[in-house]
Amino acid sequence: MPTLELETMRCELDGPLARLRLNRPQALNAANWAWVRDLVTATSYLACSSETRVIIVSGEGRAFCSGLDVKELAQGHLTTEWFATWERGVSALANLDAISIAAVHGYCLGGGLQLAIACDLVIATTDAVLSIPAVKEGVVADLGPMRLARLIGAGPAKRLCLLGRQFSAAEGAALGLIHEVVPPDELEQRALAVAEELLAIPFTALRHTKRQIDRAFDLSPADLMTEMIAAQEECLRSPEHAAVMAAYREAQARGKTRA
């Protein structure tokens, strides 16, 4: 299994499935300079993997990610360049062709929540604790407020971002931020099950569907229509579509034979 070992995370490729594991457990996977550089490196590595179709993002130890390293921030080490590097890594994750699943447990705070919602699907444990408290630290949560507004609407996003309060996975699910809540001991199994479900779906169709949703706020309906026609043509010409239709015709023929 090809593995990219970095200082604060590792990336494992296993055929069409990849795992991005945040690996700074002694600091609850908080993001320092090495962490943001590693995220840029890891997302570049994943973008170059033509075989990867689904990615599971998870955290080692007791937390998914507790956000930026407040100790580093307090010492003035996290400059505007750090925040820009952070956003490059998060945006790169969001813009991957592969479908990403955030498997969230424990603390998912600030940048951790930003990382999770940059993924396409979020599965969280019942004991997960979430928040986006950047304003309480006197900073802006990069593009996290924008992503939250697009995901759950401006009103709920303002409540979460302006007050910075902690909330549960169940509350996140009610807002549409968390897609599924599971017991802690079922997180790994459920993330893999959803990954397998996605891997069984034609990837060309998944990739274009993800792109259309992501660009829904950026393009006019006319421009989206133009992109859709091109995407639909690619889907109709794909070997995946041909295989699905062949299986459908075969099933139909078997049904007629039995009749």
Query: Using N-to-C axis directions, what is the helix angle for 144-152 and 154-163, rounded to 10°?
Result: 140
Same domain, residue pair 128 and 223:
no
Which residue type occupies 5? E
CATH number of the domain within which 48 lies: 3.90.226.10
Residues spanned by the domain of 74: 3-199
pLDDT at residue number 63? 98
pLDDT for 52-88, tens place per residue?
999 999 999 999 999 998 888 888 878 899 999 999 9
Same domain, residue pair 239 and 126:
no
Helix (H) or strand (E) holding 209: helix 203-214
Question: What's the domain count of the chain?
Answer: 2
β-partners of residue 58 are 21, 103
Of 181, 199, 217, the domain-final residue: 199
Distance CA 55, CA 100 (A): 5
Same domain, residue pair 239 and 122:
no
pLDDT at residue number 112? 96
Q: What's this model's pTM, rounded to 2 decimal places?
A: 0.92
Same domain, residue pair 69 and 121:
yes
pLDDT at residue number 220? 86
Of 152, 173, 199, the domain-final residue: 199
Same domain, residue pair 186 and 67:
yes
pLDDT at residue number 217? 87
Same domain, residue pair 223 and 179:
no
Same domain, residue pair 159 and 223:
no
Distance CA 69, CA 77 (A): 10
Same domain, residue pair 47 and 119:
yes
Of 170, 199, 228, the domain-final residue: 199
Distance CA 159, CA 192 (A): 33
Same domain, residue pair 188 and 60:
yes
Same domain, residue pair 96 and 218:
no
Task: Return averaged pLDDT per consecutive 10 residues of the chain, 259 residues in all.
Answer: 94 97 97 96 96 98 94 86 94 97 98 97 98 92 92 96 97 97 98 98 96 89 87 89 89 73
Radius of gyration of the chain (CA): 20
Same domain, residue pair 224 and 149:
no
Same domain, residue pair 161 and 223:
no
